[in-house]
Copies of this chain bind each other. A is one copy, B any other.
Amino acid sequence: MNTLAEENYLKSIYHLSVNDGNASTNQIASSLNTKASSVTDMLKKLADKALINYTPYQGVSLTPSGEKIAISIIRKHRLWEYFLVEKLNFKWDQVHDLAEEMEHISSEELIDRLDKFMGYPKHDPHGDPIPDCNGRFNTHELKPVSAVTVNQSGIISGVRDHSSSFLQYLDKKQLTIGCKIMITDIIEYDHSVVVQTGNKEVHISREVANNLLIAL
């Protein structure tokens, strides 16, 4: 078994390397709120355990076994989030920190039974896909609202920012997972976006549009 710190590093490296397959020391440090020197120490340890590929100064990538562990933690995180929202009636902006703690409960059997208990959900409350017990999941084809052209419509299906302040803002604007929206205007000047949701028009900033994902 791995320590809590090791698990958090693997998870962070996984998220950071989703795009380019590589994570830098500084990126990891800032995502874990720690110092670059601490990261270097841990990278050596994870490399010794063959969980990452590490060449000094060159950043890191996960090995297959490191990725397996990372995905298992993400599975746990998302299933617990689903449990908290669907069974214990938490709001979607309240569950991230709780799940950060619960994702380290080690038992795989427990999580598989939890999965079954909830009917094998495919997405967590923020729209992120939940890996199955073999670590497989659909990488959904979502676009940020900022990348959509005028008059296109779609279903809000994910967020890039999981902070409660962002989620609460979306709640207030009634821009939540599952809502159908249409992009009615894009303001050239500041790249802010006007979207139609239900019978209302909502004006959102470029930053919000960037962090709101829709399925076309």
Residues of B within 8 A of A33 (CB): none
Q: Are B90 and A101 in contact (CB under 8 A)?
A: no
Say yes or no for A150: interface residue by CB 8 A criterion: no
A102 to chain B: closest CB distance in Å?
6
A98 to chain B: closest CB distance in Å?
6
Say yes or no for A106: interface residue by CB 8 A criterion: yes
Identify which of B88, B105, B110, B114 contacts A117 (C-beta below 8 A).
Answer: B88
A119 to chain B: closest CB distance in Å?
13
**Given the complex of chains A and B, what is the CA–CA distance between A102 and B87 in angstroms?**
17
| Given A90-B113, A113-B90, A102 and B105 contact (CB-CB distance below 8 Å) | yes
Residue of B nearest to A110 (CB): B98
Say yes or no for A139: interface residue by CB 8 A criterion: no
Q: List CB contacts (< 8 Å) of A102-149 with chain B.
A: 102, 105-107, 110, 113-114, 117
Residues of B within 8 A of A106 (CB): 101
Residues of B within 8 A of A88 (CB): 110, 113-114, 117
Max chain B C-beta neighbours (<10 A), residue from A98, A102, A110, A113: A110
**Given the complex of chains A and B, what is the CA–CA distance between A90 and B105 in angstroms?**
16
**Given the complex of chains A and B, what is the CA–CA distance between A139 and B120 in angstroms?**
40
**Given the complex of chains A and B, what is the CA–CA distance between A84 and B147 in angstroms?**
45
Identify which of B90, B105, B117 contacts A87 (C-beta below 8 A).
Answer: B117
A93 to chain B: closest CB distance in Å?
14
Q: Other than the known A90-B113, A98-B107, A102-B105, what 9 A-B pairs have Cβ atoms closer than 8 Å? A: A84-B110, A88-B110, A88-B113, A89-B113, A98-B105, A98-B110, A101-B105, A101-B107, A105-B105
